[in-house]
Structure 1
Amino acid sequence: MNRNTVRTLELGAEDIPSLLVENVDHYRVRGPAVVVNPHPEPVLLDVEPRVTIPALSSTILADTTIVGAPSVLVLGLPDRPAAEVVRAPGWHPLGELLPPPDPADPTEFPRHTPLWKGPQDGAGTARLDAPHLLGERPDRGAEETYEIRVNLWYAPAGTDCAIHNRHDFIEVHTQIAGVGRMQKFHAHDHRTLYQDIPMAPGYTTPQPFCRTAPGGGYRYPWHQYRADTDCVWLAVEYHRPAR
């Protein structure tokens, strides 16, 4: 199998060059770039003293060699305002992508929310033992191959991107531009905030929020992304194989 196989990720943002590098073997990141490790094992860098990119985490690298990894995501840092990414083809307000709202459901996504989703692309696979990854048991057991899907999001400064608790996949988020935060709530109510996680460029929420649920799904707490400034962030989704 060829080493350092590079493919462009089609994320609809020319100002954010985005690459999937597979079968990583002493791959040089010229940078500066956000490098995401989408796997449950740390990724070693060729520096002294020893430095790793932890599991499901990221950092900003420049002129640094990655010793080895099944794959990494490499995203350039934009040098233009975050708001300009949504001018590219394939970006849509999230409200346009959802089915018609249910007026009887108070947790429905508010369609006026200024939240844009970019095109999604596949980013290879990862071998995961979900209960171990999510902290439900200490020892790693049988693993399954999960499909990785990625896309960029944009929201302007001051946007609450809507409290929700439903996903049929495992996800983490990586900040690309601007300053935002991931927030958790006891209920579908901003007054019940109990955890606030600041996010600057290069930071990934390394611990997925969810737990496994009966029937193979996932249970999420009430959570949302909030944009303190104009923000672009990357969603990294892990989709379980169909049974």
Structure 2
Amino acid sequence: MPVQSLDIAEPFFSVRVIENVKSHPITGKTIVLNLSESPIAVQKQTLAHLQSAIIVDTVIEPVDHAVVIERIADYEDEDALFQRVRETWPSAFKVRGEERLRGVSHYMSPKVWIGKYGFTFYHSGSVPLNVGLHRDHAFCPVPGFREVHTQIVGFGKMQQCRERDVDTLYLEEPMAPGATHRPMYDANGNYPWHQFETITPSIFMAVEMLPDGAMPPQGV
């Protein structure tokens, strides 16, 4: 199926996974994340593997594998949007049960797996968020797990630390709408201690990528 719609971010955003098309028209402000090793042409620019941008009223080509998020410019009142999201999505702690998420203003959409790719939206409601540094992804026992995050609404920062202590911070990437941080994993899927931290209340998308031999986990 060249274009597959995902309902995980409804009624707030329209999300589509696009595969193996020569071209795809973009209408209005839309975030495009390239999931393929092959570049996507945008006029005379390109999006490389795991790069994203806000694309407006143009054509992207060719598209081997990408995810697009539409209707990102529909909300003049972001506070009202966030309130509706909190009324719709459960807390991440309720879904995932991780102790680091207890009492944290962090909410998540349903997750959907398309092959080896998992897609989830998160709303981070407080500043600071204090979601907690982490580096393990226990649900994937096969080496090579990968994950990136794409900012949808609001501003944040992805932080990497030498130890499980923010005072050991060594790399921080600002996250604005349309931005995806650089991959932080090594060839074996090993991660540093890392966390997403808010600058403003935010919504972002997580894309998880399973290695060969791994199966999508049950639940989350």
Query: Structure 1 length normalisation: TM-score?
Result: 0.77
Q: Is the 8 A contact 2:133 2:195 kept in 1?
A: yes
Deviations 1:118-159 (A, max 9, x none): 1111245xxxxxxxxxxxxxxxxxxxxxx1111101111411
Separation in 2 of the partners of 1:119 and 1:72?
20
The aligned counterpart of 1:109 is 100
Q: How does 1:89-100 map to 2 (within 5 A)?
A: 91-99=89-97
Equivalent residue for 2:66, pick from 63, 66, 72 = 72
1:148-167 equivalence runs, <5 A? 148-158=117-127, 159-167=129-137
- Kindly state the Cα deviation for residue 110 of structure 1 after the two structures are TM-superposed: 4.3
TM-score, normalised via structure 2 length? 0.84
2:50 to 49, 56, 76: 56
Q: Cα deviation per residue 1:82-116 (whole Å; 9 max; x = unaligned)?
A: 4122332xx221211235x6xxxxxx514111111
**In 2: Cα distance, 1:187 partner to 1:40 partner:** 32
> How far apart in 2 are the matches of 1:148 and 1:173?
13
Deviation at residue 161 of structure 1 after TM alignment: 1.8
Structure 2: runs of 5+ lacking an equivalent: 215-220
Q: Which residue of 2 aligns with 1:134?
A: none
| Map of 2:38 onto structure 1 | 41
Q: Any conservation in 2 of the 1:119–1:151 contact (CA below 8 Å)?
A: yes
Opposite residue 113 of structure 2, the aligned amino acid is G
Q: CA RMSD in A?
A: 1.8
Give the Cα separation in 1 of the matches to 2:23 and 2:187. Answer: 35
Quote the offset at 1:174 in angstroms.
Answer: 0.4
Q: Distance in 1 between matches of 2:9 and 2:37?
A: 27
Task: Decide whether the 8 Å contact of 1:43 with 1:52 is kept in 2.
Answer: yes
The answer as to whether partners of 1:9 and 1:123 remain within 8 angstroms in 2 is no
Other structure's SS at 1:41 match: coil
Structure 1: runs of 5 or more not aligned: 102-107, 125-146
User: Mean alpha-carbon deviation: is it higher for 62-71 or for 169-178?
Assistant: 62-71
Contact 2:23 2:59 in 1 (8 A): yes
Aligned to 1:208: 183
- Which has the higher Rg, Structure 1 or Structure 2? 1
1:228, 1:120 → 2: CA distance? 25
Alpha-carbon deviation of 1:226?
0.5
Amino acid corresponding to residue 112 of structure 1 in structure 2: G
Give, in whole Å, the separation in 1 of the partners of 2:154 and 2:56: 19
Give the 3-state SS of the residue equivalent to 1:92 in structure 2: coil
Confirm or deny that 1:118 pairs with 2:115.
no
How many residue pairs were aligned? 201
CA shift at 1:187, angstroms? 0.9
Instruction: Specify the SS of the correspondent of 1:211.
Output: coil
Decide whether aligned partners of structure 1 residues 196 and 19 sit closer, same or farther in structure 2, where only a CA change above 3 A counts. Answer: same
Partner of 1:180: 156
Residues 1:149 and 1:43: Cα distance change in structure 2 (over 3 Å):
same
Letter in 2 for 1:163: L
Residues in 2 aligned to 1:12 and 1:176: alpha-carbon distance in whole angstroms: 11
